[in-house]
Structure 1
Amino acid sequence: MRAALTPTGRVRRLRMRITALFALTSALGLVTMAVLAVRSDDARWREQLDRSMNLDTTQAISLLTYDADDRIDTRDLVETVDADCPPLTVFSVPRDGASGPVVDFAAARPCLTARPADLRAVAEDAVRREDVVAVDRRAQDGRPVRLFAEPFFAPDAEGADGRDGVVVTVYETTVPLAEHRRTTWVLTGGCAVLVLLSAAVGHVLSGRAIRPALTVLGQQEAFLADAAHDLRTPVASLRMLAETALRGETDTTDVLRRTMRLADGMGGLVDGLLTRARLMSGAQSLAPEPLRLDQLVEAVVADTPAEGHRVTVRAEETVVVADPELVRRAVANLLGNALAHGHAPGMPADVTIDVARDGTVTVEDTGPGLPPGVAESLFERFRSGAGSTGLGLSIASWVAHAHGGSLAAGRGTRDGGARFVLRLPAGPDRQ
């Protein structure tokens, strides 16, 4: 059985179908127009040639007369017109139908020699229809030719023994047929190129049309991957605690306390995952407004439980234009990261936060610092230290760049700890 397509695969297959439909629609329109153009060109050159041949036959008929025996007299035609090229043939056709057409005049040295059967057939057809007849045939040497027959009638059209006449002329069609074939090939090639071009354009346009869907699917898959990755450990810990409690191997109060800590951690993790997903998808847009960055940082520090750690704030009066909620979350994530990893095991953290007038927030700790070569990819998810998901720094980096700022990491100036510098555009009166 064929494996089921992923959502991304189905969207890509839809793109190919849209491209094919676009190309097919264009091909149908172009082929229809090309067929009409080819037929129009074919009818045009035949119409022009028939008009020229009609002039020759009409001129020849004007020079024909009937003698006393009601026979066609071709002397004026022979003396006046060069009937060799294009060749002229004059037939007389009895009205009683007792016999077929009789040649009354034929070119002495014709430049084209049509088959006699073709000449007689077109002459009979013209008399029967009482109108001009034009057909395409082959000369005796195989060249394509066009036969044109125009009938004329004896003065005593009511007499039983009268004979009608037909003038037939022959034109070679090699050149116009070659030009027509050239036009056909040009139109065919042009249609093929335009179909390919329309397919390419349709592929590009369909790609642009499905790009938002692919982006959303990618974000959804990333969110699911993040959730599965980050929730696996705390869920396993909760299961282990539950099994331990069921076996009665530990104190119930201690189990509940550890369960509460895990629940709080999972709540913060889910909140971070949802925030990151909303930021990446654009569901949470910026709402910038002038705000006092120094006051916001002090409020974040006041709301963050220190749990024995020391946090020092050195802030200058600073005004920035930014989204308060997003900046608050970015600063809180940087502070939380410093409190979690900016100290030696079993020792309290010593964190310093500096707020400068140019819109810079510097968070520095005295912990073990950053491993070599980690600063470049530190703001990707899953790149923080043990016990952390890395979402906090990823969200802080996104907030900084969304405001036109930056977030940089490096070695601290105090005891070799880590140093994070968040830069936001300063307000117009503080630049």
Structure 2
Amino acid sequence: MTAEARIRTLRWRLTALFTLTSLVGLVGLAVFALHSDTAASRRQLEATMDLQADHAVSLIDYDDNRRLDLQPLIDTVESDCPPLTVLSGTADHLTVARTPPRPCVPIAPDDVHTVAVAALRHGSATWADTRTPDGDPVRLLATPFSGPDDRSWGGALVTAVDTADSEAEHRQLVTLLTVGCAVLVSLSAMAGHLLSGRAIRPALTALRQQEAFLADAAHDLRTPAASLRALAETARDDDTLRGEALDRTVRLASRMSDLIDGLLTRARLMAGVATVAREPLRLDQLVEAVVDDTATHGHHVTVLTQPTVVVGDPDLLRRALANLLNNALAHGHAPGQRAEVELTVSPEGTVTIDDAGPGIPPTLAGSLFERFHSTSGSTGLGLSITSWVAHTHGGTLTVETSPRGGARFVLRLPGHTKHLP
């Protein structure tokens, strides 16, 4: 797996981790909310039922013959809804003293009897859950009441509430929270993917810059390295040429050192750890120096300049101009013929390089400055580097047909220019 593929895999892992974290958090909050809603609803229901039961129990009395008197309860409280069932006696022997004639919640007599017995045996209010004959959930409360001597229990009052509506609302809340969690987790996954993409972008940029640096280094150092090997072989095989070969080796090694410095400078500039130098320089003199330092190998180079000052990085501009000149010398002529190259420097900060070669097909002009694009078998990095230098200085690099019949490359460096008399 390549380094870029590993970085992209890391992005998906970060997205999955972000999504899983959000999912766990949201599910935890949803469970807590549902538990809190259930507990709150039950507390509210039980408080209401307990209050109603206490009020009903307070209305149960006895007559002078110590018999149960339920008339105050019947006259005061609507006992059909919620249904109030009164059972008298002990836990071992309970009889129904009163049942609601038209209960709004139908309850099986056995369920009423069971919860009443439990309340009398525990001596306190007792809760129970059951269902109606139709299957609806019901909450029961049995509250014991005192006997005629106030020293023992005289029976129990049982009340019931249908909790179907409450449970339906709870299920609706569960559905809403489930849908909400699903939507939020989906949004979290998308946000996590975007954030992880932004997080790994510097790593991908650094990786591509490293690959670009290695490609540029191979492009710029391949020819000098081959020349060094040829000079070394010449010095080894021919003693008469050894001194000249060594002198050329020293000059070539110096050029290679300059190339390496330029590559490192460009890599640091692209990585953002260095800035482009901005200093006034004579563009015409820089072009003349580049021409003097370039081996023409029998080709003819004409320089037409006017004194011109621009503001820029001399090392980067020197390299860009050298690339354009070498490109014209290498490709601006027919096979076996001498190249005729003309460089013109205008006061507006424009350098024009014309050759008499085959020119550039119009279909290739748009992609000529792309990395690794070449029409002649080279790596195609020279023109892409020159284009990068031009854009770094706020300028442009264009190609068109030359009046000489070949290609014309125009390097424009706008702004901060002046003409010297």
Q: Which moved more, 1:61-70 or 1:397-406?
A: 61-70
**CA displacement, residues 53-82 of structure 1 (integer Å, 9 cap, x when unaligned):** 223212212211123454432121123322
Q: Which residue pairs with 2:85 in the alignment?
A: 89
Post-superposition offset of 1:344: 3.7
Alpha-carbon distance, 1:399 to partner: 0.8
Equivalent in the alignment of 2:416: 427
What does 1:2-401 align with in structure 2 at a 5 Å threshold? 5-94=1-90, 97=91, 99-154=92-147, 156-158=149-151, 162-221=152-211, 267=256, 271=260, 281-282=271-272, 285-384=275-374, 386=376, 388-401=378-391
1: CA distance, partners of 2:179 / 2:45: 27
Q: What's the offset of the Cα at 1:285?
A: 3.9
Q: How far did residue 123 of structure 1 move?
A: 2.1
For residues 390 and 253 of structure 1, the distance between their equivalents in structure 2, rounded to whole angstroms, comes to: 38
1:316 partner letter: Q
Cα shift at 1:274: 6.2
Letter in 2 for 1:6: T
Shift of 1:184: 1.0
Does structure 2 retain, via aligned residues, the 8 Å contact 1:334–1:363? yes
The answer to whether 1:417 aligns with 2:406 is yes
**Is the Cα contact below 8 Å between 1:64 and 1:74 reproduced in 2?**
yes
CA distance in 1, matches of 2:392, 2:338: 33
- The one-letter amino acid paired with 2:410 is V
Q: Distance in 2 between matches of 1:380 and 1:273?
A: 18
Q: CA deviation at 1:189?
A: 0.9
Residues 179-228 of structure 1, C-alpha deviation per residue, up to 9 Å, x if partnerless? 11101110111011111111111111111111222233344455566777
TM-score, normalised on structure 2? 0.84
**Unaligned stretches of 5+ residues in structure 1:** none
SS across alignment from 2:46: helix
| Paired positions, count | 413
Q: What's the RMSD between the two structures over aligned residues? A: 3.6
> Within 1, Cα distance between the matches of 2:145 and 2:48?
18
Per the alignment, in what secondary structure is the counterpart of residue 374 of structure 1? helix
Structure 2 unaligned residues grouped into runs of 5+: none
Cα distance in structure 2, aligned partners of 1:77 and 1:155: 16
Cα displacement (A) at 1:334 = 1.0
CA distance in structure 1 between the partners assigned to 2:393 and 2:154 by the alignment: 98
Question: 200-209 or 295-304: which moved more?
Answer: 295-304
